């Protein structure tokens, strides 16, 4: 079956088995192995990618469902060098084995946008924002990404540091 | 040449403290971190080849004699290249350091979930579809699957009987006599077990997700019938192991056999639901603990007897009582193990086998004694610290438990605690705090490493793995410190059996074993540089790429302009293990909130205080401790692999049903390292840190639950139903 989408800004056309998940298409057909397969049934978050800026579990989605979509994987989070978030993950040791890390990074990238867009979470006190990225909000919103090494303290510290930096920049711009 | 060391004697010279590059023991980035955040670290299933075939394992749905009546039809399905029913396929993953094939065969399933076929096809989707179409018929055997259903083995060599515990119990001022249970648990590493195999007609090259390559190579060679010299195993990045990847796994052997049959590269990735069955679980335990104490809470007797299980023909048994042999002084002691041979999936090492569950249950019992005797739980532990090994009489190599307890208590604010339960309430929540001591045996095993020093820098090589533990970071730091190089001029290459055989990752022995081999290799290079400068190694200063002795000064670039230098280190355990008792010690503190409406437990904060010798990199060491403490949350509150009572199968064999702690379950952590150099640990004075953090962590939570609401839970995990049932009425 034919399908076309862009990944990290580059267009791709594939003629593939309709059973191929988006995750397997990325890993095996486009050689973008940064997105990880941890459970293949939507329970661990290691395969998290961004589709038109929103996070999804790529293992729960077929590649042919994404015709025309813009997909971003960990390889596309930064064009040259490393993004501030990636650097913060290294500084705070937000990874050990590293297998969940790409999913954590993609998820965190989406969380920033969800907060900015006023999307509530399970722990939000109201359904109509705005919301601040408190530790509680962050822990809730990142709980779809399991880290068995348990780097949650480092992951949270890295994300909160970037959130604060961004808030600082926004304030300075006002 | 090689620098060999058998650790027979202490190393009180603390050479690392006299070196001046100032990287060892410092808080540095892990060098592999950059690859991991970029998504460019390559794991086992990520090697690409145009002619790659894909294998999917098929499991036995019942225990008994297996046949596949429609095998030929499946073989004819679109894209299918082979349906392997090879007797060399393995029943379950090998045990750690087995060094030979585990039980093999596909005709008889010993447990539900045993791999009995591999379907190989051109694509993953074809292989999975065909595997689902394969009919597996089982002539069912009537086998025991409950630990109580059989007469257990009671090995004499696992029995300790000193004094008269029954008498001590009857004469005690305070006594605890209770049974504690822990369920089966699994490692659940994020990367499923996976292998990519290549066969060139002579040599098998396998990229696997494995922890101990020098053993894995022999296990794989023995399984498929090759000379180990013709087998190469690679695992430069491993997505977590925690014991489940110690031994060769079913995917590796099946992928190798398929590649050898088909002459094309074959990739086999275990489906997450297979990972729960095919690789070793932590055995369930039933622990009978007895404590006898005098009026001040000093132990006069202790008993720790445990029942665990495993499949027939597995040598491993969960060493539940390992920590109890040396944790506390008591003149009268009864310790022993019972092993039930039943047909649940194989049991093996999972992070800190033994102490993880043994210390946790024992530390709950100690909390019960503290409560009964009216002694502060920290004081109770301090009061019972033995002066020497309570059974062998050997001295401890170093014993910093009291410091860990006292410093941890201070940092946590333990003195503000209510000694009596049910004193602090916030709405429906009871608030309380608890603590536990941590104990873990320390080991060194044989390891080798090589360093090549050229004018551009140093390269460290070993087949050692980094499963997230920080091997890349600390070996680079050891080499940089000894050779006087900035970290960016040291490269560490791991995870390839073409490199010298390291220890592998397991039992927290990687840092002290392979780390010492790296140290020795660096020392050999220092000696050669000193020879070139005409001084002794001890007189040499290496810093920032410059070699200095007295008024002689030369850059390493010049010294090495013609000839690079190689150093090779080799360490073996020696008489130290006979002369002293060596262990790591720590203390856990936890604050929890318990809802008396739902029974839910929320951990609010945890503090761990750990003594593990020299800390080589506080950042990576801290992360390891975070991991252990989080596993303690899982053990105390959520993790349980449930076995069906009829056929023993793992009911909740996926990440939906097996509840790992997620981000929102993990509170802010504090980790405190107690200053310690253990001279008996070798020239780095470093011990293992990867497992200490889990030992007893769950007990601090369970003890906090009791302090909060008065519910004493002895059956783990303390799920809401159990907490509600244990609440005082």
B261 noted as active-site residue: no
For chain B, what is the domain count? 3
Q: Which parts of chain B register pLDDT below 50? A: none
CB spacing of B191 vs A146 below 8 angstroms: no
* Residue B362 sits in the same domain as residue B216: no
Distance from CA of B627 to the nearest CA of A (A): 5
Give how far the C-alpha of residue A129 lies from the chain's centroid of Cα atoms, to the nearest Å: 22
State the best of A88, A99, A158 to mutate against chain B, taking most chain B CBs within 10 Å: A99
Residue B384 lies in a domain: yes
Q: Please state, in angstroms and rounded to a whole number, the distance separating the CA atoms of residues B538 and B686.
A: 21
* Residue B387 sits in the same domain as residue B457: no
Backbone phi, psi, residue A141, to 5°: -70, -25
User: Which residue among B255, B278, B301 closes a domain?
Assistant: B278
Q: Does residue B419 have a cis peptide bond before it, meaning omega lies within 30 degrees of 0?
A: no
Write out chain A residues lying below 8 Å of B241, CB-based: 97
* Residue B74 sits in the same domain as residue B192: yes
What is the average per-residue pLDDT within A134-154?
98
Q: What is the pLDDT of residue B562?
A: 80
Element (H, E) at B244: none
Does the pLDDT value for residue A173 go beyond 90?
Answer: no
Distance from CA of A101 to the nearest CA of B (A): 6
* Residue B93 sits in the same domain as residue B212: yes
Nearest to B436 by CA among B635, B602, B174, B290: B635
Residue B164 lies in a domain: no
Does A90 lie at the interface with B, CB-CB under 8 angstroms? yes
State how far the alpha carbon of B222 is from the alpha carbons of B62, B269, B434, in Å.
Answer: 28, 21, 49
Distance from CA of B252 to the nearest CA of A (A): 18
Strands of the B231-234 sheet, one edge to the other: B80-84, B115-121, B53-59, B266-269, B194-199, B204-208, B231-234
Q: What is the pLDDT of residue B483?
A: 98
Q: What is the pLDDT of residue B237?
A: 98
State how far the alpha carbon of B260 is from the alpha carbons of B48, B49, B203, B205, B723, in Å.
Answer: 18, 16, 10, 11, 54
Distance from CA of B277 to the nearest CA of A (A): 14
Does the pLDDT value for residue A163 go beyond 90?
Answer: yes
Residue B720 lies in a domain: yes
Mark which residues 171-230 of B lie under 8 Å from A by CB. 187-192
Q: What is the pLDDT of residue B606?
A: 98
Q: Please state, in angstroms and rounded to a whole number, the distance separating the CA atoms of residues B237 and B662.
A: 23
* Residue B378 sits in the same domain as residue B470: no
Does the pLDDT value for residue A72 go beyond 80?
Answer: yes
What is the average per-residue pLDDT within A27-49?
97
User: Which residue among B551, B575, B599 closes a domain?
Assistant: B575
Q: What is the pLDDT of residue B375?
A: 98
Q: What is the pLDDT of residue A174?
A: 61
Residue B262 lies in a domain: yes
Residue B504 lies in a domain: yes
Nearest to A62 by CA among A14, A108, A105: A14
Q: What is the pLDDT of residue B155?
A: 98
* CA-based torsion, B15, B19, B23, B27: positive or negative: positive
Q: In this complex, which of A73, A82, A149 lies closest to B468 when CB atoms are compared?
A: A149
* Residue B23 sits in the same domain as residue B57: no
pTM of the model: 0.98
Q: What is the pLDDT of residue B521?
A: 98
Q: What is the pLDDT of residue B288?
A: 98
Residue B437 lies in a domain: yes
Q: Please state, in angstroms and rounded to a whole number, the distance separating the CA atoms of residues B168 and B184.
A: 33
User: Which residue among B575, B594, B623 closes a domain?
Assistant: B575
* Residue B472 sits in the same domain as residue B485: yes
Does the pLDDT value for residue A51 go beyond 80?
Answer: yes
Nearest to B204 by CA among B88, B39, B42, B57: B88
Q: Is the ipTM of this complex over 0.95?
A: yes
Residue B167 lies in a domain: no
Does B664 lie at the interface with A, CB-CB under 8 angstroms? yes
Count of C-beta atoms within a 10 Å radius of residue B416: 7
Name the 3-class secondary structure at B651. coil
Which domain covers residue B110, as residue numbers?
A: 44-142+187-278
Does A105 lie at the interface with B, CB-CB under 8 angstroms? yes
Does B574 lie at the interface with A, CB-CB under 8 angstroms? no
* CATH classification of the domain holding B55: 3.30.365.10
* CA-based torsion, B685, B690, B695, B697: positive or negative: positive
Kind of pairing between the strands at B160-162 and B332-341: antiparallel
Name the 3-class secondary structure at B420. coil
Cβ-defined contacts of B129-135 (< 8 Å, 24+): B129/A19, B129/B77, B130/B56, B130/B74, B130/B77, B130/B79, B130/B80, B130/B83, B131/B56, B131/B57, B131/B58, B133/B70, B133/B73, B133/B74, B133/B77, B134/B58, B134/B68, B134/B70, B134/B71, B134/B74, B134/B83, B135/B68, B135/B69, B135/B70
* Residue B271 sits in the same domain as residue B192: yes
* Residue B550 sits in the same domain as residue B412: no
Does A29 lie at the interface with B, CB-CB under 8 angstroms? no
Residue B48 lies in a domain: yes
* Residue B22 sits in the same domain as residue B69: no
* Residue B408 sits in the same domain as residue B369: yes
Give how far the C-alpha of residue B240 lies from the chain's centroid of Cα atoms, to the nearest Å: 10
CB of A26 within 8 A of CB of A73?
A: yes
Name the 3-class secondary structure at B149. helix
* Residue B679 sits in the same domain as residue B556: no
Q: In this complex, which of A34, A35, A97 lies closest to B467 when CB atoms are compared?
A: A97
CB of B546 within 8 A of CB of B503?
A: no
CB spacing of A153 vs B189 below 8 angstroms: no
What is the average per-residue pLDDT within A151-170?
92
């Amino acid at each position: 079956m034919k399908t076309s989408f862009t990944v990290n800004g580059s267009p791709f056309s594939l003629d593939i088995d309709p059973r191929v998940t988006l995750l397997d298409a990325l890993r095996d057909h486009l050689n973008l192995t940064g997105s990880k397969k941890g459970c293949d049934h939507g329970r661990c978050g290691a395969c998290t990618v961004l589709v038109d800026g929103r996070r999804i579990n790529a293992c729960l989605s077929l590649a042919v469902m994404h015709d025309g979509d813009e997909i971003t994987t960990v390889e596309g989070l930064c064009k040259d060098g490393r993004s501030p978030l990636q650097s913060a993950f290294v500084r705070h040791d937000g990874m050990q084995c590293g297998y969940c890390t790409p999913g954590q990074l993609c998820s965190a990238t989406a969380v920033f946008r969800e907060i900015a867009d006023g999307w509530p979470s399970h722990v939000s006190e109201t359904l109509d924002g705005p919301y601040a990225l408190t530790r509680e909000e962050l822990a809730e919103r990142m709980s779809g990404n399991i880290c068995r090494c348990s780097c949650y303290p480092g992951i949270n510290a890295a994300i909160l540091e970037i959130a604060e930096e961004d808030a600082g920049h926004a304030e300075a711009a006002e | 040449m090689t620098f060999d060391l058998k650790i027979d004697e202490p190393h009180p010279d603390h050479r690392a403290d006299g070196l001046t590059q100032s990287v060892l023991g410092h808080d540095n980035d892990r060098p592999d971190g950059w690859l991991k955040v970029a998504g460019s670290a390559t794991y086992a299933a990520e090697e690409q080849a145009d002619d790659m075939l894909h294998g999917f394992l098929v499991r036995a749905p019942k225990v008994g004699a297996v046949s596949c009546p429609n095998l030929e039809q499946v073989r004819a399905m679109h894209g299918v290249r082979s349906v392997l029913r090879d007797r060399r396929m393995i029943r379950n993953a090998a045990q750690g350091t087995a060094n030979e094939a585990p039980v093999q065969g596909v005709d008889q399933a010993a447990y539900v979930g045993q791999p009995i076929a591999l379907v190989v096809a051109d694509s993953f989707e074809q292989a999975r579809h065909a595997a689902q179409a394969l009919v597996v018929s089982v002539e069912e055997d009537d086998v025991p699957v409950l630990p109580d259903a059989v007469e257990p083995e009671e090995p004499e060599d696992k029995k300790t009987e000193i004094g008269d515990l029954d008498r001590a119990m009857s004469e005690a001022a305070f006594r605890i006599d209770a049974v504690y249970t822990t369920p089966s648990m699994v490692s659940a590493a994020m990367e499923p077990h996976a292998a990519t195999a290549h066969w060139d007609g002579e040599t098998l090259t396998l990229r696997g997700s494995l922890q101990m390559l020098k053993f894995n190579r022999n296990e794989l060679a023995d399984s498929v019938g090759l000379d180990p010299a013709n087998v190469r195993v690679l695992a430069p990045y491993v997505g977590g192991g925690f014991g489940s990847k110690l031994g060769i796994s079913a995917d590796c052997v099946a992928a190798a056999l398929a590649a050898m049959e088909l002459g094309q590269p074959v990739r086999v990735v275990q489906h997450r639901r297979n990972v729960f069955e095919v690789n070793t679980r932590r055995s369930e335990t039933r622990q009978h603990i007895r404590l006898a104490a005098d009026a001040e809470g000093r132990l006069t007797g202790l008993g720790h007897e445990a029942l665990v299980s495993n499949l027939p023909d597995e040598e491993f048994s969960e060493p539940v009582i390992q920590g109890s042999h040396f944790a506390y002084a008591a003149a009268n002691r009864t310790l022993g193990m019972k092993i039930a041979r039943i047909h649940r999936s194989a049991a093996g090492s999972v992070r800190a086998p033994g102490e993880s569950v043994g210390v946790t249950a024992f530390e709950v019992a100690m909390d019960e004694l503290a409560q009964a005797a009216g002694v502060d739980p920290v004081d109770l532990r301090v009061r019972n610290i033995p002066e020497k090994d309570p059974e062998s009489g050997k001295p401890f190599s170093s014993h910093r438990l009291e410091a860990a307890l006292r410093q941890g208590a201070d940092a946590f604010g333990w003195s503000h605690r209510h000694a009596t339960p049910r004193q602090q309430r916030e709405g429906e929540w009871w608030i309380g705090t608890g603590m536990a001591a941590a104990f873990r045996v320390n080991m060194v095993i044989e390891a080798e490493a090589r360093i090549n020093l050229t004018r551009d820098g140093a390269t460290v090589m070993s087949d050692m793995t980094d499963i997230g533990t920080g091997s890349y970071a600390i070996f680079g730091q050891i080499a940089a410190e000894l050779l006087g190089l900035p970290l960016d001029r040291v490269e560490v290459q791991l995870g390839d059996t073409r490199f010298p055989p390291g220890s592998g990752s397991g039992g927290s022995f990687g840092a002290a074993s392979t780390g010492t081999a790296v140290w020795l290799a660096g020392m050999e290079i220092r000696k050669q540089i000193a020879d070139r400068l005409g001084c002794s190694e001890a007189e040499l200063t290496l810093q920032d790429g410059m070699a200095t002795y007295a008024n002689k000064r030369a850059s390493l670039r010049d010294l090495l302009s013609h000839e690079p230098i190689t150093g090779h280190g080799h360490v073996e355990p020696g008489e130290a293990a006979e002369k002293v008792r060596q262990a790591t010690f720590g203390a856990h503190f936890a604050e929890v909130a318990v809802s008396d409406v739902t029974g839910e437990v929320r951990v609010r904060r945890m503090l761990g205080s750990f003594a593990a010798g020299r800390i080589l990199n506080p950042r990576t060491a801290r992360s390891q401790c975070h991991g252990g403490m989080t596993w303690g949350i899982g053990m105390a509150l959520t993790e349980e692999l449930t076995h069906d009572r009829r056929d023993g199968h793992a009911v909740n064999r996926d990440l939906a049903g097996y509840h790992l702690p997620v981000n929102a379950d993990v509170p802010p952590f504090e980790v405190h390292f107690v200053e310690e150099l253990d001279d008996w640990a070798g020239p780095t004075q470093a011990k293992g840190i990867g497992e200490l953090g889990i030992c007893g962590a769950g007990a601090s939570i369970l003890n906090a639950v009791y302090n909060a609401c008065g519910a004493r839970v002895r059956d783990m995990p303390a799920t809401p139903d159990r907490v509600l049932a244990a609440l005082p009425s």
